[in-house]
Amino acid sequence: MSASPAETPAVESPLREFAEIFFRSPAANTGLALILLVVLLSLLGPFIHAVDPNETVNAPFLPPFEDWSSPLGTDYIGRDVLAGIVNGGLATLSVGAMAALMAIFIGVVLGALAGYYGGAVDVAVMRVTEFFQVLPALLFAMVLVTLFSPSLWTSAIAIGVVSWTSTARLARGEFLRLKQMDYILAERVIGAGSGRIIWKVILPNAVAPLIVSATLAVGTAILFEAGLSFLGLGDPNMMSWGLMIGSNRPYILDAWWAVTLPGVAIFLTVLAVSLIGDGLNDAFNPRLRERV
């Protein structure tokens, strides 16, 4: 006897399943709260605490909470540390996001071509990938930035150019696996072209691990940007957390807060991105979906 409509179990949408697993993860919720806080401070902080981060506004080496006009103290030339943190967050996040997008784009394109076509294309792409992997990434990025005038764009491009290799290998592995599936063979039988199969059939089915990789790439790019700015290779006209740490490093014993507080901001931002990545990985995991 066929089941009546009332007895037919409702099919839960994949998006709802994803949301249930993602938002019940303490790591994901903590990461979202932290990254939202960082973004809001970076966007609204400069208007709430309207102080130029490059101007001397108080006595040098002023400790935190002694003068509420500079609540987090000042650095070695009297610049406001809080102003530097809230203004530097936008530059750091912008470079991290742009570099991660570039790394994901390069990695997905090259990995997709290598995994789908195989043969000589795969060999050529993997040789290029291995070449970039054996290069010291930060040193290579330093060379690229030094060749051009340091700016947000050159930093983002340099970081993206050195950070795509892991994404390319991941995309290649997914395409090698998925191109053998029956529905891909069916697409070929009906005459679908390689472009359609790669970008409209295989890529949507490989997007889950690539999204997780993208979140981790953002954290890596933020650390790279901080490293370049720390070494004086960031945009000299824009305050960033790495620049604050680098410029105040010689005076860490006299003004620990000018180095520690930007470092804490970088740590919390990268931690938030990593926690979100863990939550996405759990939500995209089919085994965990079966338990919902």
What pLDDT was estimated at residue 1?
46
Task: Tell me the pLDDT of the chain (292 aa) as tens digits.
Answer: 444 544 444 445 767 777 888 888 888 899 999 999 999 999 999 999 899 998 999 999 999 999 888 999 999 999 999 999 999 988 888 888 899 899 999 999 999 999 999 889 999 999 999 998 888 888 888 888 888 878 888 889 999 999 999 999 999 999 998 888 888 888 888 888 888 888 888 888 888 888 888 888 888 889 898 888 888 888 877 888 998 998 899 998 888 999 999 999 999 999 999 999 888 888 877 554 444 4
In whole angstroms, give the CA distance from residue 27 to residue 277: 9
User: CA end-to-end span of the chain, whole Å?
Assistant: 29
In whole angstroms, give the CA distance from residue 81 to residue 261: 8
Residue 108 DSSP SS3: helix
Q: Please check whether residue 108 is in contact with residue 98, taking contact to mean a CB–CB distance below 8 angstroms.
A: no
What pLDDT was estimated at residue 127?
94
What pLDDT was estimated at residue 183?
85
In whole angstroms, give the CA distance from residue 128 to residue 117: 16
What pLDDT was estimated at residue 10?
47
Amino acid in the structure at residue 259: V
In whole angstroms, give the CA distance from residue 217 to residue 116: 23
34 alpha carbon, distance to own chain's centre:
14
Q: Please check whether residue 238 is in contact with residue 89, taking contact to mean a CB–CB distance below 8 angstroms.
A: no
Domains of the chain in sequence order: 24-52+73-289 (1.10.3720.10)
Amino acid in the structure at residue 85: I
Q: What is the pTM of this model?
A: 0.84
